[in-house]
Amino acid sequence: MFKKLSPNIKSSITRSISQSFEDYMSDIGWAEDKYNIEQFYANWREYITTKALWYEKIPDEIKANPKFHEDLAKRVEEVLVRVLNDPPAEEQIAQIEILQEKLGTHYEYGCKAEALYVQNLLEAKAEQQKK
């Protein structure tokens, strides 16, 4: 069922999964012990039904089909694996290391999205120290 959707809708679905996952992980501070797949799905479900333009473009008969939901669950898993396996950029690593040395911190990060979270956190801390 998922394969029958237009490339634009499939791309929008993928982006919404990635964005929702990164937002959810940021909300919990990328703390693995706080991760709850049901909560992530609840957040994503709310996002797609209230903010995602692609959701309205999918016919109700497709949305009601269990095969569509099975395909969608597989897509969510693929996207999450891809996000978690996307390594941080060398520029990110360098910037984080500079900030950590300056601030005397030691945050760990395993993927590009988590590195972005850490970088933003450290930049905010550095900005607060300037005040």
**Each residue's pLDDT tens digit, 64-121:** 999 999 999 999 999 999 999 999 999 999 999 999 999 999 999 999 999 999 999 9
Q: Over 90: is that where the pLDDT of 129 sits? A: no
CA distances 42 to 20, 26, 38, 39, Å, are: 10, 16, 6, 5
Residue type, 48: I
pLDDT of residue 118: 97
Q: What percent of the chain has pLDDT over 90?
A: 80
pLDDT of residue 77: 96
Q: Whole-structure pTM over 0.85, yes or no?
A: yes
